[in-house]
Structure 1
Amino acid sequence: MIEAQVLDTPIGPLAMLARQGVLLAAGFTTTGPQEMFERLSPELRAEGMDVTDDLGRPARAVRDYLDGDLTALDAVPVEQPGTPIRQRLLTALRQVPAGVTISYAELAERAGLPRTAARAAGSACARNLIAPFVPCHRILPSGGGYGGYYYGTPVKQWLLTHEGAPAAERLRIREH
């Protein structure tokens, strides 16, 4: 059975879904956990979903993150589907520390892929099921600005500001 919880945050409700302590999905949604549940694979959806008042470790990590412990989300185990290349990108993405922003090309490079794999990096971010635990909000276009974000640019801006990252309007990611 997939367990779900919705936490109120300063940027709106955060729905989280976990199975046996491993986070399978998380995202900012006004429709509750059902939206996140529908993004799971058919095999996982077949397990059903039960809404709980306390998901445990993931909920504590979110509260700690919001209270200023910017590394709290890093310790929560996560699992999401994908090809070996996507898994490498998601692993590299999870290693980008709070307050740091990098480009899609840099993410590809950190995953051991050529910088030309920036499009694959963008695709991995777009399909990320576990925000903000897998911090796709820390990836910005190399030309500046915030770029896209599944939950909207204001949420991405808030997360980056909370983490102390430089304002994207003033930031140009250096391509080396």
Structure 2
Amino acid sequence: MTSQVFIVHGGIASGKTRRGEQITNLAKVNGYDVRGILSQRVMRGTETIGYDMVDLESRKTRSLVCRGTEVQGDEWKFLRGSFLYNEESFKEANRLLGEASECMNDNTLVVVDEYGHLEARGFGIYSGLRMVIDSLESGGKLLILCRTDKIDDVLGLFTQSETRLLVLDAAQNDFMEILVDFFNNARKI
């Protein structure tokens, strides 16, 4: 069975998560069971103060990453710059991705937002992503959102030649046209 993976990349604030939401909406319209996580930016005015994880099945949110000045507690660990990450939220994200990996079939789309600095070092949501990748042989689709500088790292996760990859820039003008075509052709395989 050919597994299908979408990789949507871009810079900071380039619209990756917005594209992820468009893809999940398209998948739902096409009858897919959508699981996984999206990372929504938390703003104070024009300043990014963190990111919340959204469980796509329950729609519940958890604080994932915050500026160090916004939070305190032992569950917050240094990430980079002035940001801290919530260790418990990452454990929950990996648990959700693990559950999603057990439900993989031809009518499943799992979303991983986003593969970043932690994941490139084997931390963060890497273990959950790995479980989903290992389950792709059961069918379904995987959407990975990442920064442009992480594309090679993400591509390196896929060694099976039967994996069909679609790499799109979040700012690409014909994004939705290509995506709809990919979804429509996927049903014929």
TM score, norm. by length of structure 2: 0.26
Q: Point out the structure with the larger strand share.
A: 2
TM score, norm. by length of structure 1: 0.28
